[in-house]
Amino acid sequence: MQKLVYNIREGRKGWDVYVSHTGKPVVLNGRPQTGLPLETAARLAASLEIMDFLHAESARWVITDRPIIH
């Protein structure tokens, strides 16, 4: 099973979304994702995992039927 890149933990004022291998909070639009409601933090971490997976997968995809533009 693959280890999660993003995770959540209880902070001082709610839940924090953090990068598992650094322990640092995720920063989106210049704002650390800390002090969130539990459901929001869990959904954000899950969404980031999906986006990270899709980004990694798309790097391996090969386009075989490219459209021809005339």
25 contacts 18 by C-beta, under 8 angstroms = yes
What pLDDT digit, counting tens, does each position of 14-55 carry?
Answer: 999 999 999 999 999 999 999 999 999 999 999 999 988 887
Distance CA 41, CA 9 (A): 9
Q: Taking the model in full, what pTM does it have?
A: 0.76
Using CB atoms within 10 A of its CB, is residue 28 exposed (0-12), middle (13-18) or buried (19+)? exposed
Write down the residue that tokens 């997968």 correspond to: 57
Q: Report which DSSP code applies to 65.
A: S
| Sign of CA pseudo-dihedral 2, 45, 41, 23 | positive
